[in-house]
Amino acid sequence: MNLTIISKTVTDHFSDFDFSQLEKEDREIIPVDHPLDPEAVAKIYKEKQPDRVILALPDPLGHSLKEHGKLTTLIEHQGVNPAQIAFINLNEIFITAENSDDALSRLQTQLLLAEFRLENTPQYPLEIYPPEKELILLGQPPDKGFLEYLRENKVAFQSVLDTDSGDGAGVKIIEFQGFTGNYTLDWKQDSSKKQARGCALVIFPDSLTDEQKEEVGTALRYPMLNSTFLAPDNRRSHKNGVWLVQTLKELQTALLTIKPICDGKEVTTFIESATVDPTRCGLCGTCVKTCMFNASTLDTEQQTSVVDPAKCVACGNCVTACPTQARDLPSYSNSYMHGLMQSLHGFTQADGTRLLVIACESNGYAAVNHLANEKIKVSPSCMFLQVRCGARIESFLVPVTLKAGFDGIAILICARHECRNIVGSLDLERRLNLYRSVMKANRIEPGRLRIIPVSERKLDSVPAVLNKFADYLANLESPEGSIFSL
Amino acid sequence: MSEQKPTVAIGLLSGCFGCLMSFLDLADDLAEVFNLIEFRRCPFNDVRELEHVTVGMLEGALSTDHDMKLAKEMREKCDVLVSLGTCPSYGGIPGMRNFQDSKTICEDVYGRRVPDDEELPQLLPAVVTLASVVKVDYFIRGCPPTTEKIKETLVAILEGKKVPEKTRNLCVECPRTKESILTPRRGFLTQGVRSVMELDEIDPTRCFLEQGVVCMGLVTVEGCNARCLGDNMPCRGCMGPVPGVPSQGNKLIDAVATLIPSGALMFFEDSVGIAFRYTHAADESMRK
């Protein structure tokens, strides 16, 4: 049985919204107050024992960093696998729906999509292990107050590149890897190799030279920008463990997440990594070359490629690149990505220009969420779809979207240098620029596909671009004899 | 009185006869085959009537209304229907006409005087796969399929067994070595993209992708023993994609974009023709 928990905020926007209209066989709807009380949700969960839960809330994944992670963690602590939880961001409806009926129709589409996704997400492997107790500090804290704060809060730590204690020179950071609460940092001091183990890595970027920043960024395979917004993004990735701290407040925010982990007896976590079907792997090596995190290797004895879960960040690039579909990603599986268009049928059959806006979970979706927070509306032509990263967007998705009845596709991804997965935006652009020649050969206007890089600091630029694109599509005529008329 | 042998009919759609040439390459083994089966209507004899047979094989693409009629007739009159070669299985080379509508193609070919005698076959709006029109029991992939593959399938049919499905790409059969693909490093494998003719020297031992040449082997199912690779030519993808992959061409783009410079690929002669050469008609992204 699928349980949908939906925030009553909908009626703030559409006063005559009727929640019961969403119900059908096998789908129960429970409206809840806003802001959501996670304990209340846990209670509902215990009582109903549903097979799957859909949470329809404004900004459920905490892109505005409120209630970050708390909600899902609470549900996961009930023993629920993340594969059984789906989210609908009501903000998407608030920024596009024109009236109650429209809102209802969009929500019904979103529910179908969420249900389809739940059916096509395999269970995540569950790992239980004791956490490391120490924090690894990289660089010099801005003042003594930082270390004092850590001591006051009984957080043990180990320092690397701390110029006060004179070990700044001759340090070269090699690698950072691991899982929530259990990380290792490898570095070289002059010529001897060293290693630190910790529950998280806190970096003080202001104390690093530009050269050091670049080196650390390269070794961590992590874009080094001055913002903690980067830190807890993509909860399911191991990059949970890296925090950039410039102010005491940012350290406090980091500890809100870190402390419960390192103080706990054990970490219970669902680890998402790319999976491999060995029967389909031909040892071609594409995944090895594609992975920027060195998480992929070939095991010639076992005749298959192998994923190292300590390094894999579940970006999906190898899944998109794998020429035989041997690779898959639980949260954005092949069966989900290839089949999801049928769920959007209700939207594409409606009148008017239909524009699919695919947004990456980082900057792309932050821009979408930002619109609602600023009470900005966009063209009602828009329907939003989240992906992990630009890297997970297969070129196959483009024609399938147009075939489903959309007039165009906009892809919101991180600006190149801000991509958390290093080459996600870059590889997407490479793939789709190649695909444009296929569109031309099939007499499909390449202008129907637009890639929109989004900078973390310029989220405001997005609505104007989307509206302009929707106008362009509205005025575009379909040529006679287009491939889809065959 | 001889025992009833299984009967075989071969129908020709819009094909080139290449699959049948590969069949005839059984040469000395042909006698063995003729002992096991009896050919009814086929190009090797002058039997005109298509009667009910045990096994029906169709070669060539479904491109005209005559093809459609024959395909349906064969399905009715055969116990077991075989899609012989890449053409009926994926559309094959004739499938590339799907990039253009049939009216424009005829005008291109015939100018102003497009023949319209009613006895002539009419082009369908698009080439379609055999399986999209009738139920197919066996697929023999390849352009042409290897002689061994044809024999293996015939034997399996006669024994009432399935042919084990291949599920990996051609790299697993390819004798060439890989080095730079397996070395994690940012940057492409080569500076540019070349056609195989443009190489000063074709290294016979090294992976073509590492020499900057697009090889479809990545996105092509194994089963042909990589004959072309052994003969110092890159794979062209004639066996089609690994089963379950909805678009061979799209997969090539997704895989190769991270390996060799896509900017160069865009200006490369005909990246679309290379990626979709054999499977355009079967491509799930293009069919309604």
Question: Running DSSP on this structure, what letter comes out for residue A442?
Answer: T
Predicted pLDDT at A62: 62
Structure tokens at A60: 């459920």
At A66, the pLDDT band (50, 70, 90 cuts) reads very low
User: B101 and A281: CB-CB below 8 Å?
Assistant: no
| Residues B176 and B153 grouped into a single domain | no
Predicted pLDDT at A237: 41
Q: Given a cut of 70, is residue B69 above it in pLDDT?
A: yes
| Residues B258 and B181 grouped into a single domain | yes
- Which residue range is the domain that position B122 belongs to? 7-158
- In terms of average pLDDT, the best of A233-242, B29-38, B232-241 is B232-241
Chain segment B213-272, per-residue pLDDT in tens: 999 999 999 999 999 999 999 999 999 999 999 999 999 999 999 898 877 766 665 778
Measured in angstroms, the CA of B262 and the nearest CA of chain A are apart by 6
At A72, the pLDDT band (50, 70, 90 cuts) reads low
Residues from chain A that touch B242, judged by Cβ atoms under 8 A, are 280, 323-325
| Residues B191 and B223 grouped into a single domain | yes
Predicted pLDDT at A235: 35
The residues in A 389-408 lying below 8 A from B, measured between CB atoms, are 394-396, 398-400, 403
Predicted pLDDT at A1: 80
Q: State the alpha helices, DSSP H only, in A168-327.
A: 210-220, 248-263, 286-290, 317-321
Own/partner pairs for A216-224, CB < 8 Å, 24+ apart? A216/A138, A216/A173, A219/A173, A219/A174, A219/A175, A219/A176, A220/A173, A220/A176, A221/A292, A221/A293, A221/A422, A222/A176, A222/A420, A223/A417, A223/A418, A223/A419, A223/A420, A223/A422
User: B246 and A396: CB-CB below 8 Å?
Assistant: yes
Predicted pLDDT at A378: 94
More confident residue, A474 or A43: A474
Predicted pLDDT at A452: 96
Q: What is the pTM of this model?
A: 0.91
Predicted pLDDT at A236: 35
More confident residue, A387 or A216: A387
Per-residue pLDDT, averaged over B54-61, amounts to 97
Domain boundary residue, one of B128, B158, B188: B158
Which residue of chain B has the CA closest to A403?
A: B288
CB within 8 Å of A35: residues ≥ 6 apart: A67
Per-residue pLDDT, averaged over A327-356, amounts to 94
CATH number of A1-125: 3.40.50
User: A437 and B189: CB-CB below 8 Å?
Assistant: no
The beta-carbon neighbor of A282 closest among B170, B246, B259 is B170
What Cα–Cα distance (Å) separates residue B169 from each residue in A139, A238, B200?
47, 31, 28
Per-residue pLDDT, averaged over B2-27, amounts to 91
Predicted pLDDT at A37: 79
At A268, the pLDDT band (50, 70, 90 cuts) reads confident
Predicted pLDDT at A231: 40
| Residues B99 and B212 grouped into a single domain | no
Which residue of chain A has the CA closest to B181?
A: A289
In chain B, the number of structural domains is 2
Residues from chain A that touch B193, judged by Cβ atoms under 8 A, are none
Fill in the amino acid letter for B69.
K
Q: Is residue B84 domain-resident? A: yes
The residues in A 233-292 lying below 8 A from B, measured between CB atoms, are 279-286, 288-292
Element (H, E) at A186: strand A182-189
CB within 8 Å of B209: residues ≥ 6 apart: B181, B189, B215, B218, B256, B259, B260
Per-residue pLDDT, averaged over B143-150, amounts to 95
Q: Residue A11 burial by CB count (10 A; 0-12/13-18/19+): exposed, middle or buried?
A: middle
The beta-carbon neighbor of A321 closest among B217, B246, B258 is B258
The residues in A 20-59 lying below 8 A from B, measured between CB atoms, are none
**Which residue intervals of chain A bear CATH 3.50.50.60?**
129-269
| Residues B150 and B18 grouped into a single domain | yes
Q: Given a cut of 80, is residue A305 above it in pLDDT?
A: yes
Q: Is residue B196 domain-resident? A: yes
Q: Is residue B42 domain-resident? A: yes
- Which of B129, B132, B168 should we substitute to test contact with A (largest number of A Cβ atoms within 10 Å)? B168
Measured in angstroms, the CA of B54 and the nearest CA of chain A are apart by 33
Q: Is residue B1 domain-resident? A: no
At A162, the pLDDT band (50, 70, 90 cuts) reads low
- Domain of residue B35, CATH code: 3.40.50.700
What Cα–Cα distance (Å) separates residue A296 from each residue in A169, A306, B261?
33, 6, 21
Q: Given a cut of 90, is residue A42 above it in pLDDT?
A: no
| Residues B11 and B142 grouped into a single domain | yes
Residues from chain A that touch B217, judged by Cβ atoms under 8 A, are 284
Q: Is residue B288 domain-resident? A: no
Q: Minimal CA–CA distance to B153: which of B168, B173, B167, B137?
A: B137
Domain A351-486 has CATH 1.10.3470: no
Q: Minimal CA–CA distance to B245: which of B225, B276, B219?
A: B219
Domain boundary residue, one of B100, B127, B158: B158
- Rounded CA gap, A425 and A338, in Å? 21
pLDDT more than 70, % of chain A:
88
Per-residue pLDDT, averaged over B160-176, amounts to 95
CB within 8 Å of A387: residues ≥ 6 apart: A316, A332, A358, A359, A360, A361, A393
At A359, the pLDDT band (50, 70, 90 cuts) reads very high
CATH architecture of A129-269: 3-Layer(bba) Sandwich (3.50)
**Which residue intervals of chain A bear CATH 3.40.50?**
1-125, 351-486
Q: Is residue B212 domain-resident? A: yes
At A70, the pLDDT band (50, 70, 90 cuts) reads low
Q: Is residue B164 domain-resident? A: no
Q: Is residue B165 domain-resident? A: no
Predicted pLDDT at A229: 40
Q: Minimal CA–CA distance to B58: which of B87, B32, B29?
A: B87
At B287, the pLDDT band (50, 70, 90 cuts) reads low
Domain boundary residue, one of B123, B158, B193: B158
Per-residue pLDDT, averaged over A362-376, amounts to 86
Q: Given a cut of 80, is residue A218 above it in pLDDT?
A: no
| Residues B108 and B129 grouped into a single domain | yes
Residues from chain A that touch B219, judged by Cβ atoms under 8 A, are 323-324
A366 touching chain B per CB within 8 A: no
